[in-house]
Amino acid sequence: MKKTGLITFCLDIGGTGIKGFTADAADREISERVRIETPHPATPKAVLAVVKEIVAQMPHFDRVAAGFPGVVVKGRALTAPNLDPAWEGFDLGKALEKLTGRPVRVANDAGVQGLAVIEGAGTELVLTLGTGMGFALYVDGHYVPNIEMAHHPFRKSKTYEELVSNAALHKVGKKRWNRRVKKVIHQLAPIFNYRVLYIGGGNAKEIDFKLAENAKVIENVAGLLGGVKLWQQPG
């Protein structure tokens, strides 16, 4: 395959796995995807050691785009509820630049995932169901960063994430978990009046109820491919 334009190393840091591959400017994978289990405890030092292992398996790349499971402002992680408290205030962008020697952009992982699938018209939402719950909002193709719906109170003093996380799925079972996910979707619809809802993450495949016509399940690889589009967003 002929490579075009700048090559992006796309990195997805998750609560259970850390994944990476390289992609060309046309959003085409040009290397094998590498996945390594997230270390525990998932401190910045431990996670960066895994990232270094992944980088060593990558071909040449010109820049880095990273999705991170928390609030990110100007490359700095402000929260990381499913990793380790040591991430609070950690400058991930700067650390990745030092590790790779390349320019870096970092954003919330759900935000990056949505960039790979949104149509760029009207209000679009991304909901990710994995270790926790991810959420991203887009207006006419522009990502509105760091809206943490996952940690907003939802029902009976529980947050969205507490009710539909991976831990909740295993605790209450697939049937009850699906009822909860359905309620989450019904709650978000009249708040955001979205044109399209995209549902991703490793547990999206566990959904067993019929979605509305304006909702669709997306491939998990979008969490990586969105990295190319992250470089097309305003800096």
pLDDT band at 29, cuts 50/70/90? confident
- 226 vs 178 pLDDT, higher one: 178
pLDDT at position 67 is 95
231 — alpha (psi -120 to 50), left (phi > 0) or beta? alpha
- Among the CATH numbers 3.40.640.10, 3.40.50.1000, 3.40.50.620, 3.30.420.40, which is that of 119-217? 3.30.420.40
Output the pTM of the full model. 0.89
d(CA 160, CA 139): 22
pLDDT tens digit string along 78-111? 999 999 999 999 999 999 999 999 999 999 999 9
d(CA 222, CA 194): 20
* Superfamily of domain 8-112 in the CATH hierarchy: ATPase, nucleotide binding domain (3.30.420.40)
Question: HSE on the CB side for 175, CA within 13 Å?
Answer: 0
d(CA 120, CA 104): 24
pLDDT tens digit string along 31-77? 999 999 999 999 999 999 999 999 999 999 999 999 999 999 999 99
d(CA 49, CA 32): 19
pLDDT at position 74 is 95
Q: Which of 33, 66, 36 is nearest to 228 (CA)?
A: 66
pLDDT at position 1 is 45
Nearest-5° Cα angle at 155, 149 to 160: 30
Q: What mean pLDDT comes out for the span 204-225?
A: 88
For the chain, where do the domains classified as CATH 3.30.420.40 start and end? Answer: 8-112, 119-217
pLDDT at 143 exceeding the cut of 90: yes
pLDDT at 3 exceeding the cut of 90: no
pLDDT at position 222 is 64
- List C-alpha distances in Å: 158 to 3, 69, 179: 48, 20, 15
pLDDT band at 4, cuts 50/70/90? low
- Alpha-carbon torsion angle 188, 191, 192, 196, nearest 10: 40
pLDDT band at 119, cuts 50/70/90? very high
Helix%, strand%, coil% for the chain, nearest 5: 35, 30, 40
Q: Which of 111, 100, 89, 105 is nearest to 48 (CA)?
A: 100
pLDDT at position 115 is 94
pLDDT tens digit string along 151-209? 999 988 899 999 999 999 999 999 999 999 999 999 999 999 999 999 999 899 999 99
